[in-house]
Every structure is written in structure tokens, then in C-alpha cells.
Amino acid sequence: MVKEVPRLLPTDEARELLELARELADKELAPRVDDYERRGEFPREVIRTLGQAGLLGLPYPAAFGGGEQPYEVYLQVLEILASRWLAVAEAVSVHTLACYPLATFGSPAQQEELLPAMLSGELLGAYCLSEPAGGSDAAALTTRAVRDGDAYRVTGTKAWITHAGVADFYNIFCRTGGPGARGISCLLADADTPGIVPQARERTMGLRSSPVAQIAFDDARVPAERLIGEEGGGFRIAMQALDSGRLGIAACAVGLAQAALDYATAYARQREQFGRPVIEFQGIGFLLADAATQIAAARALTLAAARLRDAGRPFSLEAAQAKLFATDVAMRVTTDAVQVLGGAGYVEDHPVERWMREAKVLQIVEGTNQIQRLVISRGLARE
């Protein structure tokens, strides 16, 4: 059982929402995670259950079926889910990211037609930005969309796509114009569009219940009415979406680290050496003390950035800081949790070995931590 941390929440509704998230996490996620991760099976029904409970559209307008919750509340829900099953929390974060272009830049007609099914979880989304030859350099993407009458013909390959093969819709960032950021547009395509071909799943170190793969676009025809925003506006959409998505990953990292700390602490209390619990030895106790402090700092940094977003203030630099710090903390804490358990931490009987493997990917997705440092340093250079 993950220990509940003290929280300052803006409303009673938010408190009830977090209680619901905890209940679902304990009843629907925790009992299934080991089996699904072992088999590498995507838990679509679990995601659907979260959608039915209203957890897949929390930061979006109530008029379209969303929860209309502040981002600081949504992120704490993600943290709770991640503390029980990171792949599910990541799925919620990725789906929320995939809803962002339509919810923020879509036309009223597009939103009315598609957003309710997306926010309810009836339709699961994916976000297609990275490519085999370009992940960090998103402005250099080569997937091309050529206008052909009332449609775009899309050709190219996207890489590292979470939900590849299980998503119902894909945000495709593609080149409709010349080189650079200004030539990029965003299309929203149905997954069953002829010519959209998910490739074999990657064999990942962690998050084995979360499918990741390349997607080939072989002259796929996407209706022109599915252009989100204006031609040439896709890079701006992508970057704004990633600012929010980075906060989602930061929250996932906090939840994962908290789970590892709680498990290692419980183990250190009951494990005895030299006639006393090992937590009483400074080598272990101080390690856990540092972990608790770093997690609290990561949580505070993440929620501070979220509150800036909720207030309508710039938060790109703060989102990069939160993602960088929280995911580095998760990697450090999960590694230390394995060390606290010693040999027991290296076997699958205890979840800390899985959490350590899972933490690594959080330093890579939604922009590597090297890219976060670049974002932060450029922000400092402009001050």
C-alpha cells in the first residue's frame, strides 16, 4: 500500500476526485499490474474503466465531457495512478496529450464532432511527432502530407509512438510546406485509415504493458477537414502540447518514486541485521531521508509549474525544470530502493526492480533530459 502524502487541494471536489483515483488505483490497477507487465498486454479495459470514471478528460471543458479541473489536480491524480501502475498513468498522460491539439486549436465543428468521445475514453489517442532519424530535432521531421483535392496524402514513418496499434486516432505532425518549423502542420487521423500501418512492437526495458512502435504512412489519405489549426501551425501546436505533457511525465515520476520509497521504507523497518532493523543504520536511514526530501521537492516543483499554467501565465521553463528534476529523482530513488533491498531488490519477487527499469524511460520521453536542460539554459540566456 502506498502511503498517502499530505496535500493542499483547492476544492472539496478535488479531494473527492483524488479519493476516487485512489480507490480505482487500489482495486483496478494494483491487483493487475504484475500479470499484465509480465505478459506485455495493454490494459485497454482498465483504461476504459478510468474513462468511464471521468479520469481521461480531467483538464478539459465540461461542455465536451471533460472534468474542467485545474492542472494541479489532474497531475495529482496522475501521481496516484503512477504509484500503482506506471504504464496506466503514462497512458492517461499520453491520451491527455493527444487530446490537446483538438481541444485547444480545433474548430468548434471539429470539437463538437470528436472531443466528447475522446474525453470519455471511448476513443484512445496517440501523438506522432518523433521519427527514426529525428526525435529531439522535431523541426526537421520529414513525414510529408500533400494536398490532393479534399484530402492530404501522408507518406513517411513515425517512431517511438506510444499506443501504436491500439489507439483509435493519431495526431500526425507532418510537413505540408518548406523546411523548418513553419512548414509543419497537424492532422488528426482515424487509426483505421488505409495506409496507416503500425509496425512490430519495440521490446522495451520497462513499461512492457504499454505498446510502443513505429508507424508507417503509406500514401494514407486524411480528409482535409481533419487539419487542426492552420497549415504551417503544427510546430506551435506540438510544442505547446509538450509543455503540458512534460508536467504529466513529471507527475508520473513523482508517483513512481513515492511507491519505491514507501516499499523500501517498509522493507527496511522489518528487515533485521545485527539485531536491529536496517533502517536504524545511517547508511540506510539517510538514504531514505534523502529520497523523501527529493520526492517532496519534485512534487512541489511540479505543482508550482501547474499552478502557473492554471493562472494562464508562461510555464515552459518551469515545465522543463519539473520534468528534468522529477524524472532524475525517480531514477535515483528507484535505484536506491533496489540497493536498500540488497539481493532481494534484484529479483522479480519485489517490484523495485521493475520500478527501476521503468524510471529510465521517464528521463527520455517528452523530450530527453538533455533537451530540458537546453530549454532551461536558453530561457536563462533570454532573461
| Domain boundary assignment for the chain | 12-119, 125-232, 236-382
As a whole number of angstroms, the distance between CA 199 and CA 128 comes to 14
The CA-CA-CA angle for residues 375, 317, 9, to 5°, reads 145
Place of cell 494536398: 147
Tens of pLDDT, residue by residue, the chain (383 residues): 677 888 999 999 999 999 999 999 999 999 999 999 999 999 999 999 999 999 999 999 999 999 999 999 999 999 999 999 999 999 999 999 999 999 999 999 999 999 999 999 899 999 999 999 877 788 889 999 999 999 999 999 999 999 999 999 999 999 999 998 999 999 999 999 999 999 999 999 999 999 999 999 999 999 999 999 999 999 999 999 999 999 999 999 999 999 999 999 999 999 989 999 999 999 999 999 999 999 999 999 999 999 999 999 999 999 999 999 999 999 999 999 999 999 999 999 999 999 999 999 999 999 999 999 999 999 999 86
End-to-end CA gap in the chain: 45
**Fold exhibited by the domain 12-119:** Butyryl-Coa Dehydrogenase, subunit A; domain 1 (1.10.540)
Is 90 designated active site? no
Kindly list the distances between the CA atom of residue 296 and the CA atoms of 279, 301, 367, in Å, as whole numbers in the listed order: 20, 9, 23
Which CATH number applies to 125-232: 3.40.50.300, 2.60.40.10, 2.40.110.10, 3.40.50.970? 2.40.110.10
CATH class of the domain whose range is 236-382: mainly alpha
pTM of the prediction?
Answer: 0.96
The beta strand positions in the chain, using DSSP E, are 125-128, 144-148, 151-162, 169-175, 184-190, 196-201, 212-223, 227-228, 272-273, 276-277
User: Which member of 37, 79, 353, 366 is catalytic?
Assistant: 366
